[in-house]
Amino acid sequence: MRLPALILVALAIGCPAANHASEGDGLAPCMGAGDCDEYSTCSDGLCEHLCDATQVGGPEGCSTNWSCLPMSATDSTAGDITVCVPHCNPLLPFTSDAAHQGCGANQRCDATSSVNATFCYQPAGNGTLGTACKSDHDCAPGYACAGSPGTCEQYCRVTDSPSDCTAPLVCSGFTDKLYDGAEEIGACLAP
């Protein structure tokens, strides 16, 4: 079964003064034009810390469990702008651990095949197992829109044993492979 590639639309709007955010504060939703602080911009509806992909730490780089990604990975009009995004776990999007930064409320964790990275974005949908969908935005955190016609299906680790999927479902990888670090991510589907 062919799974659709992840498509994101970055919102070019700013953050209200009361919601200025840096990566240490978590991600504040964007509500107005041009109000992110001097080290942030708005991408995917969230204030995100600007970074220099050649730096680590400080305003030019990103902290542990955050990745400096080009906004062009999710927004073709962004040019060379790079932002810090949380390296999150698509299976457990709200969980922070040694390798992941949890996403905030009403955010989902997804992956992009273009740069092999995970990231949080909003808003999350509310579709769960088997709910009809047109894109990942229609599905709840932890679910992907898979198949044709699309249905929300649970994310899983392709090589994990025992499976993250409930039998008889099996974990099937995406056509454009997605990864959480070295771990391939797929969706639980009927064999």
Q: Where are the beta strands (DSSP E) in the chain?
A: 40-43, 46-49, 66-70, 82-86, 108-112, 117-121, 143-146, 151-157, 170-180, 183-189
Average pLDDT of span 7-29 = 37
Q: Are residues 179 and 93 in the same domain?
A: no
What are the pLDDT digits (tens) for 63-72? 788 878 777 5
Residue 109 lies in a domain: yes
Asked if pLDDT for residue 37 goes beyond 90, the answer is no
Residue 162 lies in a domain: yes
In this prediction, residue 2 carries a pLDDT of 26
Q: Are residues 103 and 53 in the same domain?
A: yes
Query: Which are the contacts of 76, defined by CB distance < 8 A and separation ≥ 6?
Result: none
**Type of residue found at 127:** G
Asked if pLDDT for residue 13 goes beyond 60, the answer is no
β partners of residue 171: 188
Q: Are residues 117 and 143 in the same domain?
A: no
Average pLDDT of span 181-187 = 88
Token duo for residue 111:
């992956």
In this prediction, residue 12 carries a pLDDT of 24
In this prediction, residue 10 carries a pLDDT of 25
Mean pLDDT for the chain? 75
Domain count, the chain: 2
Residue 165 lies in a domain: yes
Token duo for residue 95:
């969980």
Q: What is the DSSP letter of 132?
A: B
What are the pLDDT digits (tens) for 75-110? 555 567 788 878 899 999 999 999 899 998 888 898
Query: Which are the contacts of 182, defined by CB distance < 8 A and separation ≥ 6?
Result: none
| Structural domain harbouring 170 | 136-189
Query: Which are the contacts of 7, defined by CB distance < 8 A and separation ≥ 6?
Result: 135
Residue 6 lies in a domain: no
What are the pLDDT digits (tens) for 134-151? 998 899 999 999 988 899
Q: What burial letters (b/e) apply to 23-48, b meaning 16+ CB within 10 Å?
A: beebbbbbbeeebbbebbbbbbbbbb
Q: Are residues 52 and 96 in the same domain?
A: yes
Q: Are residues 102 and 172 in the same domain?
A: no
Asked if pLDDT for residue 119 goes beyond 70, the answer is yes
Residue 127 lies in a domain: no
Residue 28 lies in a domain: yes
Q: Are residues 143 and 115 in the same domain?
A: no
Q: Tell me the C-alpha distance between 158 and 82, whole Å.
A: 30
Q: What is the DSSP letter of 36?
A: S
